[in-house]
A and B are shown apart, each in its own frame.
Chain A
Amino acid sequence: METRTITNRREFSWRSFILQWEWLLVALIAAVFVLNANLSEYFLDSRHLLDATMGFLDKAFIVLPMVFIILMGDIDISVASIVALSSVVMADLYQAGLPMEWAMAVCLAVGSLCGWINGMLIVRFKELSSVIVTLATMIIYRGIAYIILEDQAAGKFPKWFKFLGWEYVGNVPFILVAFAVCAAVFTYLLHKTTFGRKLYAIGNNPTASKFSGVEVDRIKVVVFTLAGLMSAVAALFLTSRMGSSRPNIASGYELEVIAMVVLGGVSTAGGKGRMAGAILAVFLIGYLRYGLGLVNISAQTLLIVLGLLLLFAVAVPRLNAGQRTVGRT
């Protein structure tokens, strides 16, 4: 007797394979490479290309959990402040005499705690959107960072701490290896586990998911805590790279991180998007920045480019859909 299994995957079709958002990103990355190679002869050099990742991969650690958050239809604009706060706490404790290993552990703990607070507030006060909650905590977290360090910088870390931001494993920068590992874990979580499927379910319809037995609240708290933790990881790399910490570090990261996620094809309405797109977008924006930096384009122009890129990324799928969708609340 013949048995048939019903797969939960759609059958492979060339049409949908070719019409993937990710190909557009690949094409854009290729365009950035061609453009940059024409602008500067120093760009296409494998060593430079690898080294460049040291400059932009720190925020990429936050992109990974941000994909989860935006998939659920939420947003977290406090991540940059969490980076600043956990970095400042770490630097301050180290200067107060705590061993560096412990200070780093505290950094991760502070980040997770901040994320957990975000998650709890959002879950306990459902009438408040994640926008306003994380807007408030964004100010509070950075405010605490300013209270701790005022306008000082703290640093003088031990020599080995530089390893995170400056050293290599073989020929490959350590940060790239670390990011590859984290990206693999997050991709696995999203695409190969029930946890990942639940994220899509929540993003598509939180109420229906709840009634089908998805622990919506618990998952939200876990994901926001994860975002806090990864912000602290980003803080470790950023602080190591800069060699010191200030309360104003990482300002504007929330915009860049959200831009990367949205450009990666994750819909702000929730429930749609893949990890691969976001990871491609990290490298797209990263190399765009790096290349424009090589030809001395000012930081202000970059601001404009980045803002427009974010809007372009959100607008294109909307225009493509043609029809207006009913606004989600």
Chain B
Amino acid sequence: MSAKIAKFRELGLLAFILLLSVGVQLRNPSFLTWENLNDMITNTAILSILAVGMMLVILTRGIDLSIGATLALSGMVSALAVSRYPELHPLAAIGIGTGVGLVCGLILGFLVARIRILPIIATLGMMNVFRGLTYEASGGKWVSAHQMPDSFKDIATGSLLGINNLIAIAIFIYAAAYYFVNHTRTGRRIYAVGSNPDSAALSGIRSGKILQLVYSVMGALAGLAGVLWVSKFASAQGDTATGYELSVIAACVLGGVSIAGGAGKISGIVLGSILLGILNNALPMLNVSAFWQMFIQGAVILFAVLFNALVKRGIDRNHLMRRKI
């Protein structure tokens, strides 16, 4: 039954995405052009990479509000590195950014898993620390396009086997994450810790290690996304991606990741990210004022979590009714 509803939910999301696309296309014919689609998908790639990490965190009943700041910090550090040493290989730049993000994630994981600070408090605090460090690292200045070597900017514009690098990286990460959460022991343990921490502990799962792992993965992915972001927009600023964590959380809850932990699928967050990407891209094309975007995003999050909760209630009621007494 629950599998059925989950499938229904994904089909529903897909149908909604198609309807939305057709609707936008009717209003503005430049929506379904190759250029716009390409632009939209590359934009969504970064969001969807972050959504993978956020899903892992939310699966464990946590939340990470610091990823916008982590993204900015690692993007800034890698941008500073390539502007100082222009001959640096792009892969090294990616490595630096991911490394910075990983360190951020490790710190968060330590705070949440070891010191047992509530995720919301720990990430709220570190969000400010990382954001402050981003300004400190750059001295409040921007790193702009002319300071970056072409090889660095090519990370986002180049292509691999005919697919844009960003999309290729996202696909690779999704494939790896799919295998990880569905077919490895550690991956399944993440679900176990989220759906019932007490039973997980009783069955010998070290939840501390799992928590440490998910926040570190989140950090590393945010670091990677930081490099991709800076390379794509060819500018690193102190306020890069402020509030972006909210979009990522929205993508996750839209994709059916339960905020209560333990439930969420890779296929769901793919659809969630795409839907959010379309919304972000389509609203300006429909001449919706930019000032409405924030409200719409919040309403979408609220609607999605309430919808998830109601669906869950329906499932639970069905289970109760089918139970033989």
Which A residues have a C-beta under 8 Å from some C-beta of B?
Answer: 75, 77, 121, 125, 127-129, 131-133, 135-144, 146-147, 150-151, 252, 254-255, 258-259, 262, 268, 298, 300-304, 306-308, 310-311, 314-315, 318-319, 324-327, 329
| Bound CA span A151–B197, Å | 46
Minimal Cβ-Cβ distance residue in B for A259: B125
Of the stretches B47-55, B97-105, B133-141, B268-276, the one at the interface is B133-141
- The answer to whether A307 and B126 touch across the interface, beta carbons within 8 angstroms, is yes
Measured between beta carbons, the chain A residues less than 8 angstroms from B289 are 147, 150
In the complex where A125-B306, A128-B305, A135-B301 touch, is A77 in contact with B260 (Cβ < 8 A)?
A: no
- Which residue on B lies nearest to A151, using beta carbons? B291
Which A residues touch B135, using CB under 8 A? 298, 300, 303
Contact of A307 among B128, B246, B312 (CB under 8 A): B128
Q: Apart from A301-B136, A310-B128, A311-B125, what 17 extra A-B contacts exist at CB < 8 Å?
A: A121-B306, A131-B63, A132-B305, A135-B246, A135-B301, A136-B305, A139-B246, A140-B295, A142-B294, A142-B298, A150-B289, A303-B128, A307-B129, A310-B125, A311-B117, A318-B116, A319-B115
The 4 closest A-B pairs by CB, nearest first: A143-B295, A139-B298, A307-B128, A140-B298
Taking a contact as CB atoms under 8 Å apart, the answer to whether B129 and A308 are in contact is yes
A125-B306, A138-B298 known; A311 and B126 CB under 8 Å?
A: yes
B287-316: contact bitstring with A at CB < 8 Å (1 yes, 0 no)?
001011111111101100110010011000
Main secondary structure of the interface of A (DSSP, over half): helix
C-alpha gap A141/B124 in the complex (Å): 19
Distance of B35 from chain A, by nearest CB (Å): 29
Query: CB distance A268 to B118 under 8 Å?
Result: yes
Say which residue of B136, B292, B298 sits within 8 Å of A136 (CB atoms): B298
Number of B interface residues at 8 Å Cβ cutoff, please give it.
Answer: 47
Docked complex Cα distance between A137 and B259 (Å): 15
Q: List 15 A-B contacts (CB under 8 A).
A: A128-B259, A129-B260, A132-B305, A136-B298, A136-B302, A138-B298, A139-B301, A140-B302, A142-B298, A255-B125, A301-B132, A307-B126, A307-B132, A314-B115, A314-B121
Complex partner residue of B260 from A127, A135, A255, A319, CB under 8 angstroms = A127
Listed residue (B129, B249, B260, B313) with the most chain A CB atoms within 10 angstroms of its CB: B129
User: A244 CB to closest chain B CB, in angstroms?
Assistant: 18
Q: Which residues of B contact A136 (CB under 8 A)?
A: 298, 301-302, 305
CA distance A268 to B122 in the complex (A): 11
* Cβ–Cβ < 8 Å partners of B126 in chain A: 307, 311
* Cβ-closest chain B residue relative to A262: B121
Q: Hey, which chain B residues are within 8 Å of A139, CB to CB?
A: 246, 294-295, 297-298, 301
Is B127 engaged at the interface, CB distance under 8 Å to the other chain?
yes
**What's the Cα separation between A315 and B238 when bound, in Å?**
28
User: A255 and B309: CB pair below 8 A?
Assistant: no
